Amino acid sequence: MKSVFAFSTLLALASAAVVPERQVRPAVTAYDGYKVFRVAVKNQVNKVSKIIEQLELETWKAPKAPGALADIVVPPSKVAEFEAAVAGMEVTTMHEDLAASIEEESNFSAYAVGSANATWFNSYHSYNDHLQFLRDLQATYPTRSAIVTSGNSNEGRPITGIHFWGSSGKGKKPAVIFHSTVHAREWITTMVNEYLAFNLLTKYDTDAEIKSFVDKYDFYVFPVVNPDGFVFTQTNTRLWRKNRQSNTGSTCIGRDINRNWNFQWSVTGGASTNPCAEDYKGRAASDAPETTNLANFIRSVKSSQGLKLFIDWHAYSQLFMTPYGYSCTARAAKHTELVSLAAGAASAIQAVYGTRFTSGPICSTIYKATGSSVDWANDVGGSEYTFTAELRDTGANGFVLPASQIVPSGVETWAGLRYLLLNMK
């Protein structure tokens, strides 16, 4: 774990040495008076679901099964009615004042062009600053990295990433591909994915183990694969999830691009056919531009150099998962090895700060999910090893995770990734 703690120390020193100017992002949809509650569903799935439906409430976690936890967003006009409806149930408050939590999270650090250093991880950032950070990081290592794009989003934004390689040169080794911010509101995933890229690039010349990883694989890191949705969370509605694609015959916007991949898309029960639902699968498989373009990029990489590892980073729940999402009984060809590696990664994560991750197949660990990137990458994209993770936390903050947890989340996630890179065959 030497490299983990050495990098953590570097970040702490950098944070102490530089106190960046603060800037606040543009105003967003007001959440004044909103609260977020967690309800222990126990054996009352139908009752909790009915409360959500009747009060037309937004959920961060839906009451999908007995024993589940439902995280529910309640506007001020419905707080009293909600509290009366759940009287006698086990209820905790995640956010007493959601607006205040969002305001605290959204105090972005000013970013100076050319300063791709460890202070970046002191706060969250605007979309344009994320693009500049990648450009600056690449410019710092011009002979070992390149900016790449995986096509454009629905609104025409390039899906931008960074590709870096080791001593053998560009495109000579099997690839590792990381996606994050698939769901727009999962800001911690953007930062953690960039943390992994930063760690691998900046320590290549000083850490023999990291050098061995980068010499062995080409890395493609895409911090924001849903740029339209991500921008919308920063300029309008912080808790937006889907892309921003219109839907014929409906005023509701967006597809869940992690229910839109062309593998087991038509299986029922793992996504919604309602355009207004947050897990809307689309009218047809891969009818979201983002999904089509990301799939084409993966195919191209697989064809030209091979694909060793694909990970789709999400939040929140603290899970490290394997295929499949579409079925709780089907087993991937490498099921036993994948499950073992996921368990090892979870243990490595816990060894850093004690953060507990649960591991196992998607369907049985979190819920059924059809048309997912992980199932597609495993069976169609041809990734030799395929995982998805739900990062911090388990519900104390949910999607609105304080910036103070960026570095710890990055450090422990690196430990999990390090385990995979050391133990994949």
User: Is 390 an annotated catalytic residue?
Assistant: yes
SS3 of residue 108 by DSSP: strand
Sheet holding 307-315, edge to edge: 145-152, 158-164, 218-222, 175-179, 307-315, 385-391, 319-322, 358-361
By three-state DSSP, how is residue 386 classified? strand
- Calculate the CA 83 to chain-centre distance: 31
Q: The tokens 């570097």 sit on which residue?
A: 10
Angle between helices 208-216 and 187-202 (to 10 degrees): 100
Rounded distance between C-alpha atoms, residue 262 and residue 286, angstroms: 6
CA 413 to chain CA mean position, Å: 12
3-state secondary structure of 233: helix
Q: How far is the C-alpha of 71 from the C-alpha of 395, rounded, in Å?
A: 8
Q: SS3 letters for 242-254?
A: CCCCEECCEEEEC
What are the φ and ψ backbone dihedral angles of 301, each rounded to 5 degrees?
Answer: -65, -45
322 CB-side CA count, 13 A: 24
Output the CA–CA distances (angstroms, integers) from residue 149 to 163, 225, 228, 368, 373, in the order listed: 10, 10, 15, 30, 18
DSSP assignment of 305-369:
H-EEEEEEEEESS-EEEES-SS-SS---TTHHHHHHHHHHHHHHHHHHH----EEEEHHHHT---
Which one of the listed residues 105, 194, 290, 390 is annotated catalytic?
A: 390
Could you give the residue numbers annotated as active site?
Answer: 390
